Amino acid sequence: MNELTERFETKPVKEQPEKLRCDACPVMCYIAEGRTGACDRYGNFGGRITRCDPVTILEHAAEEGAMLVPFEGEVPWDGELVNTKRRFVSAIGAGTTYPDFKPAPFIVSQDVEGVDLVTVVTEGIFSYCGVKVKIDTDRYLGPEAAAVRAGGEAIGHVTTAEYGSQMLSLGGVHHLTGGSKAEGRVACQALLDLCNKKPVELTIDGGSTVIVEAGQPPVIDGKREARMRVGCGSAAIGMFATQWQGLVDEVVVVDDHITGVVSEHQAGKVIGWQETGIKVIGRRSTPGRYFKVSEPGLGWGGTVLDDPLEILGDFNDKKGARPGLSLLMVSTTGEQFAYYELDAALKPVRKPFPERLGKSVALIEENCEPALCTVLFMGGAGGSLRAGVTENPVNLTRSVHDLKTYVTVGGAPVYVWPGGGITIMVDVMRTPDNAFGYVPTPALVAPIEFTLRRDDYIRLGGHADEIRSVEDVLEKGGEYFNARQARGAAPGNPWPPLQQLHREPKR
């Protein structure tokens, strides 16, 4: 017996409780009793791998518009034969099957209005995913294609602006897995927070800092945005020209995109607006419509301007300018406005704002919608997901595109991109709170449900032996021993999706 074996044999071995291996994702954590794994979604409790959050059953009012009172805790199934609410087993808390060939955690059948429907639910692990963010503001956030950062790490970029909104594209496989570990971790955390409707501070290279929170106004460089513009400067002229006629001699709607001038604009011409000899410094597009009157910024109408007179050249008396001529300058949201009159030298001089114009400025403001941040989760349903639904995954893709399978994320309807694969987008505001999770590969975990007629499910090679009733799921739960929880479905999310499933395919 050598020294090492002697020591080993004479010392008592300390009993270690057995660690269990979680197999719900490729990380394969070993988890000690009473602890959770790296993603905090699974733990070892009572010697079993348990999904820590409850399975969420969504309850829809049987009648359109009826109120639902959400409640937490185990679903009490009282055995009533007549259930006045429509239940939907969502994938939130359902768990993930890994590797690919296992059937999804819940495959639930339900007779809905005489149609036998099957819903396949799973928490999908999305390595290919990101969010598209729409920020309702005219203010300049940064140049197109500039990097967007969270915690100093690049997690996306500024993409093309839309009407009245600035757009960001965040996440994606290159930021999640193609860069440094820190970049992937920070990108994953930012996506998770955005999808779970939490605020995230983002900085844009060469631009602003913006706090984005789904369903809330953006906060840009510390200032909370209030309104989304009524339209571009040209549109505002078109909308309000008749309201200004007779009250003021000239109106300029200042806008970073298209600045409008009523006396030159077609909307002014058709109602006989007189020339004023005004000169706007900018690139004239068509009469009364000017591009690039300034650089984009945080000032009037999304320009850098604090003083709108900077966009005006000299007034021309040969084209109608005269002392006393009145001029209204206003931004596209009506938040900034000023009134001027030309002096003897035809220079505009600011005057107290006249009461007679107050109503028209208020009308611009009134027509502006509240500025909000919109977050759309976007992901591609790949191997594990599709194989969990059917033994022949491409059949699911075809069924989705043929509108025979209805896809939801936590009960919320999705937009399915045409073309190959199952690439979806969903408004996170329509999903229940905290519906999203993550795994440290890093990737986002999103609930996803596929609903189709039972006969279609069997035809596409579905896991027929795994089909269970809703009542069975409520009573016995699933593989991961977690509780069940009922929550009211978000208003407007349709269930059952019979109308959608009965539509004719587009191709």
- Give contact residues for ligand SF4 (rule: CB under 6 A): 22, 24-25, 27-29, 37-39, 41-42, 439-440
Cβ-based nearer residue to ligand SF4, 123 or 225: 123
Cβ-based nearer residue to ligand SF4, 37 or 288: 37
Least separation in angstroms between CB 442 and ligand SF4: 10
Residue 300, C-beta contacts closer than 8 angstroms, at least 6 positions apart: 254, 306, 308, 331, 336
Least separation in angstroms between CB 397 and ligand SF4: 25
Cα gap 155→34, rounded to integer Å? 35
Beta-strand pair 209-212/200-204: antiparallel
Least separation in angstroms between CB 425 and ligand SF4: 25
Q: What is the DSSP string of 356-380?
A: HHHHHHHHHHHHSEEP-EEEEEEEE
Least separation in angstroms between CB 236 and ligand SF4: 52
Cα gap 59→291, rounded to integer Å? 51
CA neighbours closer than 13 Å in the CB half-sphere of residue 507 = 5
Cβ-based nearer residue to ligand SF4, 27 or 167: 27
Least separation in angstroms between CB 38 and ligand SF4: 4
Least separation in angstroms between CB 385 and ligand SF4: 15
Cα gap 482→487, rounded to integer Å? 16
> What does the block give as tokens for 218?
């953006």
Cβ-based nearer residue to ligand SF4, 44 or 90: 44
Residue with tokens 């699933």: 478
Least separation in angstroms between CB 212 and ligand SF4: 27
DSSP conformation class of 111: E
Find the residue with minimal CB distance to ligand SF4: 37
DSSP conformation class of 20: E
Element (H, E) at 210: strand 209-212
**Cβ–Cβ < 8 Å for 38, 27:** yes
Cβ-based nearer residue to ligand SF4, 413 or 442: 442
Cβ-based nearer residue to ligand SF4, 20 or 168: 20
Cα gap 407→447, rounded to integer Å? 11
Residue 146, C-beta contacts closer than 8 angstroms, at least 6 positions apart: 157, 158, 204, 205, 206, 207
Element (H, E) at 443: strand 443-453
Closest Cα to residue 276, out of 346, 360, 357? 346
Cβ-based nearer residue to ligand SF4, 22 or 474: 22
For the chain, the first-to-last Cα distance in angstroms comes to 79
Cβ-based nearer residue to ligand SF4, 21 or 224: 21
Least separation in angstroms between CB 466 and ligand SF4: 21
DSSP conformation class of 296: B
Least separation in angstroms between CB 125 and ligand SF4: 8
Cα gap 330→59, rounded to integer Å? 48
Least separation in angstroms between CB 438 and ligand SF4: 9
Cβ-based nearer residue to ligand SF4, 105 or 462: 105
Least separation in angstroms between CB 176 and ligand SF4: 15
> What does the block give as tokens for 154?
């690049």
CA distances from 377 to 33, 125, 172 (A): 35, 13, 11
> What does the block give as tokens for 247?
């009250």
**Cβ–Cβ < 8 Å for 157, 168:** yes
Cβ-based nearer residue to ligand SF4, 40 or 74: 40
Least separation in angstroms between CB 214 and ligand SF4: 25
Least separation in angstroms between CB 123 and ligand SF4: 9
Cβ-based nearer residue to ligand SF4, 102 or 279: 102
Amino acid identity at 160 = T
Closest Cα to residue 210, out of 195, 223, 229, 197? 223
**Residue-wise burial string across 386-398, b where 16 or more C-beta atoms lie within 10 A, e elsewhere:** bbbbbeebebbbe
Cβ-based nearer residue to ligand SF4, 28 or 66: 28
Cα gap 392→21, rounded to integer Å? 29
Cα gap 289→266, rounded to integer Å? 9
Cβ-based nearer residue to ligand SF4, 248 or 443: 443
